[in-house]
Structures are given as C-alpha cells and as structure tokens.
Amino acid sequence: MRFGLFGGGKIGRMNPLGDSHGYKDFIEYIKDADRLGYESLFVVEHHFTGVGQLSSSLNLLTYLAAVTKRIRLGTAVVVLPWHNPALLAEQVATLDVLSGGRVDFGIGRGYRKAEFDQFCIPIAEAQERFDECLAFLLKAWTTEGRFTHESKHWKYNNIVVEPEPTQRPHPPIWMAGGSPESITRVANSNFNLLLDQVGSMSLTFERLRTYLDAQEKQGRARDASRVGVARALHVIRTEGERKKALERRAENLKNIGELGRRPGSTEALVDDGALIGTPAEIIDKLQRFAAGGVEYVLLTNAVVTRESLLEFSEEIMPHVSSPASGKPLRAAAA
Amino acid sequence: MRFGLFGGGKIGRMNPLGDSHGYKDFIEYIKDADRLGYESLFVVEHHFTGVGQLSSSLNLLTYLAAVTKRIRLGTAVVVLPWHNPALLAEQVATLDVLSGGRVDFGIGRGYRKAEFDQFCIPIAEAQERFDECLAFLLKAWTTEGRFTHESKHWKYNNIVVEPEPTQRPHPPIWMAGGSPESITRVANSNFNLLLDQVGSMSLTFERLRTYLDAQEKQGRARDASRVGVARALHVIRTEGERKKALERRAENLKNIGELGRRPGSTEALVDDGALIGTPAEIIDKLQRFAAGGVEYVLLTNAVVTRESLLEFSEEIMPHVSSPASGKPLRAAAA
C-alpha cells in the first residue's frame, strides 16, 4: 500500500505568526514526507476564503519541486473554470519540467457556490467551463506544432504551448468522483480517481469496484494504484487523545459539510473511514482497506503533524501490505 | 554600481537536448549569479513563440526562490492583459512569501501584435486592460479585509486576496519607459523604471534625468538605484571574439526589432550602449555610465554564460563604483 498526503488547507494559518511562517512550516513538513517515503502530496486550491487557504497551488508545488527529490506533486484540485486554459497549460508543463516529471494533475469543476459568486462566474456554467478548459489542455499537450482553438469562452489563434511537459503526452490527470456515473466517466476518460475522505469503508470499496470495472470494460488493466483514497489520520496514544481526535473529526466533517457540500445535499455520513486510533488499530483498519482492494491512501493533513508523519512511517507503513496488487511494499524510510 | 541579470529568452532552447535541459542550465546559471553577488534577475514572459521562450515566469521564479538565498526575483515583464488579476495577485504574493520578500514585479501592457492576435485580444485594448489589472492589483494588496471590484473585463464580489505579500503593501513595481511622457508616468506612480538595452548612452542619461526630475517634483528622493538599465554584455579576449560579438549584437538588435518593435516604428539605433569589449574596456564604459548617474545595470543574458558571469564578477564588478550615489560598492563574491 502506498501513502500520499492531501493538504494545504489553512496553510497560512498553520502558524500563529502568520502566512509566511505557515508556508515555511508546510514546506518543512513536506521535506520530511519526501525523506520518509511518502508517495505524493496533493494540495487544495481555494480562493478568497479569508482563512489562509492555499490559493496558488502550482506555485507552492514549484517551490516544493526544488526542495524535494522523489515525492509526486499533485493538485486536488485545480478548479479549471477559474483559469485561462493556455496559461494553465504552460504552468503545469513548466512545473512538470522543473520537477522532473513529478506532476499529478488533479482537476475539478468547482463546487463552492460562494467561490463562483466571488469570481462572478455563474455556477451553472461550471460544467461547460470545465469541459472547455479540459478539451483545450488535452489539445495543447497532444498537438504537434501550432493549432487554433475556438470555444465559447476562450479563443486562441495559431498557438503552440511551451514548454513540453516532461511526462508525455501530459501528466496523469486525476479527478474526484462520487456517484457511479461520475466515477465511470473518470474511468472512461482514462483519468485517475480521487475518492473523498468522508465516504465509509464499504462505500469506498463500491466506488473502487465501479472504477476498476469501467476500466476493464474499456480493455484496460484493473489498476487500483490509480485510485487515491483520502483518509483523515490521527494516531493516538491515550483515551484522552482519542476523545479529542474524535471531536476534531466531527468538527472537520462539519466544516467540510458547510464549505463543501452542494446546496441541498443531505447525504448521511457513516463515519468508519477515518484512521483514528492507536498504531495497532490503524494497521488493522488499513489491512481491511487493503483486503477491499485499496492500494493508495492519501492522508489528509488536517490532523497530520510532522511528528505523526514520522510515527506513521515508522510504526504503521512497514506493517501494511496490499495483497490485492502483489506489489512490493514501499520502503518506509530512505 | 549594482548588477542584475535580464533573461529567460529561449530558455528551453539554451540546451540542444531540449526544454528540460535548458531550464536546468538556466537554474545553475542563476545559482551561480546568486553566489557571485548579482543583485537581481529579471525574466521575460512570452507565449506561443515556438522558440522555447519562458512562458510561466512566476513559476520559474518560485523554483529559483528555493535554490537561491539573496538574489532578487524580478519579472520583465508580466504582461497584465493576459492574466486574471486575482489569480495574478495571489501568485505574486505567494512568490513574495516563499522568497522571503525578494520579488521585483515588472509589468507591461504588451507590445507584440502577434501575441495579442494569438490570445484573441485586440491590441487596441492593451492599455485599458493593463490599467484595469493594475488598479485591481493595487487595490487587492492595499485593502484591509474584503472588497468588491467591478471594471470592464473583471468583476469580483466580496473577496480577500491571500496570502499577504511579505513586502508591504506590495513588492516594488517596475515598468519600462522610453518616451519622456511614459517615464514621467512611471515616476509619478512611484514605480521603478526599466530602461531598454537598445538606447544609446546619451539617451539613457536623458531618460534617467527625466525619471529623477519627475520623482523630485513629487517630493521624493532622486534615487537612481530605482532605475535598471538593461545592457548586453560580452567580455572578449581577442579581436576575433570582438568581431563575433559585434555580429551577434547586430543579430540580436535585428531580432528585437523584428519581434519587438511596434508596427511603423523607424527609430534609428545609435549603438554605443552594449558592453562589448575586454574587461578594461567594459570597466571604462561602466565608469562612463556611472559618471552619468547610472547605479543599476541589468545584463542581458542573450550573451551571458556561466563563464562570463564569473569573469564579470571577478574582473569587472570590483572595479566599478558609482560616484553619483556614494553607496558602498557591493561585494563581488560572497
């Protein structure tokens, strides 16, 4: 089983001394993760929240490219409707070049009503703007030489996107999916899949199967390493810590609900998904995920500290294997 | 006299092995410059040229922020009409935070007809789009708390730009100027000034005086360190090298003319501005620039290699002082 990190929330406020200290703390944390054998980092991108959230994810990842060696640099997600498609294609390609081909490009259409209102873009246009930008990106990265592009919101005449990404024809594209329809769409596009940290264990297995079935139907391998399962992590040592961790989990779910749930959604939460417990309990839970076919877990950093990164890599990582894939266990520390 | 670098042209093609090697070479070159005491780097941003030019200048500078310690990280220039103003404000602020306040933010309205055609933006809108974006940026960086912005092309509702730049209220803004009117506008806005590499020595002095006079009229100090004078550099050792360097200079001027001149411009070139010669000749020319009040020279990297960076820092930098400013000479090497 491979382990990545999912984060960047409130990066500027991670440190009470303010934005620049918060970024510094986060960079040190990722340098640790790189050394300790974590597979990837996926960072959020949000705008105008006023709570210190990361806004320029591709810039932060570019900095991290320079101070890390192996960790893959992902977005989760770049909201395509905010971006000029050509500038975005150039930025992602530049990051891919500068990082030696370590970009995992997670994209989304956006879901926060407030954010659309703030950008003065109707949320009703989210899907068409997403489709338009994605079509452009794929064209820009796969066309040899110059091309012309005309769609509803963006027009370009006789252009060539430079530089070329290091990963050809382009970095892996990741998309979140929840419903069977959305997961099947991701699989049919041959993109990788991000599953949220809220879904229960059985729902996660069901979603994973939906993806693998759809890939198989397209004649492609059933490759569970292409599905990243986000999970909250909190390693505890005492029952007092367990109580605090569960309270924090409840608060996080509430925040995710408030900020993130689509208006009108009333999805009930069956919360057996979080990795909260002693090392032994977490190993046990991860073995259950592994038995259900999960090969790639993305730990959310809402509750991950530098200390728990180290603990997890020493006490848990070496004891979890993925019987489903038969792949060798990644070394816990370099 | 302080010395910066001006570059990024054809970065992807600096190395015949292609884009990624070109970027690597450029990064090593800037790491050298940082160690050798160069004050700054100003990088271009161009799109769709097909000759390997740097397109994502803020991303490259973010990478450089991580691998350098002192060198200032400048743009020359970000063409405002291409960018979403809010995303740009966030990107520049993020770079400023990640670099510890080393951003020099050079901006322009764009001048290449082909580039406007490629972006499908009428070049006739260049000025209004520039003004609009700049007004937004200044508002975003100087407003406490949330604000709403409405202009012709961009609207935002109840937003706050995060993170805050490290340099308060914002990084220094640099603009190119040529005519007395444009230079006076830059000074009146209290921005710093970039002078091109083409202008003759006497024209450069005249432009510098125009800027300082205008600053003085606004009640501000006559500070020539706020004027960066771009100059081509080629240190030669033999008459054969001189001939080649002059040929290369002529070719560069021709390229600048073809790519860069506004349609219909017929400005004659009096070319005594380039720093082409033996170390002794270049020291002599720089002393003449210093005597005319120039304190800050930006060497264009069209003809600068890692070897000539070292030569220049060892054989030339220590021998040039700026009598006009009376400032201590910057150490040539750390």
What pLDDT, in 10s, does the model give residues B222-272? 999 999 999 988 888 999 999 988 888 888 777 766 544 444 444 444 468
Torsion sign over Cα A124, A125, A126, A128? positive
- Of residues A60 and A261, more confidence is placed in A60
Q: Does B19 contact chain A (CB < 8 Å)?
A: yes
Predicted local confidence at residue A262, as pLDDT: 44
What distances in angstroms separate CA B96 from CA A44, A114, B30, one per listed residue? 20, 27, 18
Find, among B7, B77, B93, the residue nearest to B45 by Cα.
B77
pLDDT given for residue B176 in this prediction:
96
pLDDT beyond 70 at B334? no
Q: What token pair was written down for A252?
A: 């996080």
- The answer to whether residue A85 scores a pLDDT higher than 90 is yes
Determine contact, residues A276/A218, Cβ cutoff 8 Å.
no
pLDDT of A190 > 50? The answer is: yes
Compute the average pLDDT of residues A175-202. 96
User: Closest approach of chain B CAs to the CA of A210, in angstroms?
Assistant: 36
Average of per-residue pLDDT across A192-212: 95
- Quick one: pLDDT at residue A12? 76
**pLDDT of res. A170:** 98
Comparing A47-61, A208-222, B10-24, B71-85, the range with the smallest average pLDDT is B10-24
| A331 compared with B17, residue with greater pLDDT | B17
Out of B18, B94, B156, the one facing A55 most closely (by C-beta) is: B94
| pLDDT band at residue A152 under the 50/70/90 scheme | very high
What share of chain A has pLDDT > 90, as a percent? Answer: 74
pLDDT in tens, A269-314: 446 888 999 999 999 999 999 999 999 999 986 667 888 889 999 9
Whether A162 and chain B come into contact, CB under 8 Å, resolves to: yes
Q: How close A245 gets to chain B, by Cα (Å)?
A: 29
Shortest Cα–Cα distance, B20 to chain A (Å): 5
A161 touches chain B (CB under 8 A): yes
Q: How confident is the model at residue B213 (pLDDT cuts 50, 70, 90)?
A: very high
Angle at B141 between CA B178 and CA B6, to 5 degrees: 40
Non-local (6+) Cβ contacts of A59 within 8 A are B58, B59, B62, B91, B94, B95, B98
Radius of gyration of chain B (CA): 20
Strands A78-79, B275-277: pairing kind: unpaired
Assess if residue B89 is contained within a domain: no
Q: Which B-chain residues 107-146 have CB contacts (< 8 A) with chain A?
A: 117-120, 146
Does the pLDDT of residue A253 top 80, yes or no? no
Contacts of B59 in chain A (CB under 8 A): 58-59, 62, 91, 94-95, 98
Query: Does B208 fall in a domain?
Result: yes
Q: Which residue of B has its CA nearest to A67?
A: B66
Among A92, A23, A13, A91, smallest CA distance to A60 is for A23
The sign of the dihedral angle between the CA atoms of A217, A110, A18, B85 is positive
Instruction: Determine contact: B17 vs chain A, CB below 8 A.
Output: no
Q: Does residue A249 register a pLDDT over 90?
A: no
Distance CA B55, CA B137 (A): 21
Instruction: Establish how many alpha carbons lie within 13 A of residue A219's alpha carbon, considering only the half-sphere containing its beta carbon.
Output: 0
- Judged against a pLDDT cut of 50, whether residue A113 lies above it is answered with yes
B155 at A interface, C-beta within 8 A = yes
The tally of domains found in chain B comes to 1
| Residue A135 pLDDT greater than 80, yes or no | yes
Helix (H, G, I), strand (E, B) or coil at A63: helix
What CATH number has the domain bearing residue B35? 3.20.20.30
Per-residue pLDDT at A250: 82
Which pLDDT band, with edges at 50, 70 and 90, does B21 fall under? confident
Residue B327 scores a pLDDT above 60: no
Q: Which two tokens stand for residue A139?
A: 């064209």
Distance between CA atoms of residues B5 and B231, nearest Å = 9
- Helix residue ranges, H only, chain B: 19-36, 57-67, 85-98, 113-119, 126-142, 180-188, 201-217, 239-260, 279-291, 306-311
The pLDDT of residue B55 = 96
- Please indicate, yes or no, if residue B284 is contained in any of the structural domains: yes
pLDDT at position B208: 98
Within 10 Å of residue A25's Cβ, how many Cβ atoms? 16
- DSSP summary character for residue A328: P
Domain that holds residue B240: 2-76+177-319
Looking at the domain assignment, is residue B314 inside a domain? yes
| B163 chain-A contacts, CB cut-off 8 A | 12, 19-20, 23, 52, 55
pLDDT in the model for residue A257 = 62
Higher local confidence (pLDDT), B317 or B327: B317
> Looking at residue A323, what is its pLDDT?
53
User: What mean pLDDT do residues B269-277 have?
Assistant: 76
- Predicted structure pTM score: 0.92
Residue of B20, B59, B94 lying closest to A91 (CB–CB): B59
d(CA B66, CA A99) in angstroms, rounded, equals 13
Is the pLDDT score of A223 beyond 90? yes
- Position B333 confidence tier, pLDDT thresholds 50, 70, 90: very low
Chain A residues touching residue B63 (CB < 8 angstroms): 62-63, 65-66, 98
Residue A129: the pLDDT is: 98
Give me the pLDDT at residue B307, please.
Answer: 87
Indicate yes or no: CB of B63 within 8 angstroms of CB of A98: yes
Q: In this predicted structure, what is the pLDDT of residue A202?
A: 94
- Coil vs helix vs strand at B140: helix
**CA B10 to CA B33: how far, in whole Å?**
19
pLDDT tens, B172-209?
A: 999 999 999 999 999 999 999 999 988 999 999 999 99
Average pLDDT over residues A145-169: 96
Provide the pLDDT confidence category of residue A17 given band limits of 50, 70 and 90.
Answer: confident
